[in-house]
Amino acid sequence: MGAPVLLEVPENMNPVDTALLEFEEGLIPITVKRLVAKRKS
């Protein structure tokens, strides 16, 4: 999908394995923000 590779990987490694390796190393730059509704008193 055009995203840059964030670590050194062998040339023959497929994109799915590369993404899993980046995830396991904690290199995926994703932040999920969730809005929490205020409680009614």
Alpha helices (runs of H) in the chain, residue ranges in sequence order: 15-24
Query: So what's the pLDDT on residue 9?
Result: 85
Q: What is the pTM of this model?
A: 0.56
pLDDT reported for residue 1: 63
Name every residue whose Cβ is closer than 8 Å to that of residue 5 and which is 6 or more positions away in sequence: 18, 22
pLDDT reported for residue 39: 81
Q: What confidence tens digit (pLDDT) does each residue in 1-41 have?
A: 677 888 888 889 898 898 888 888 888 777 778 888 888 76
Q: Indicate the DSSP class of residue 25.
A: T
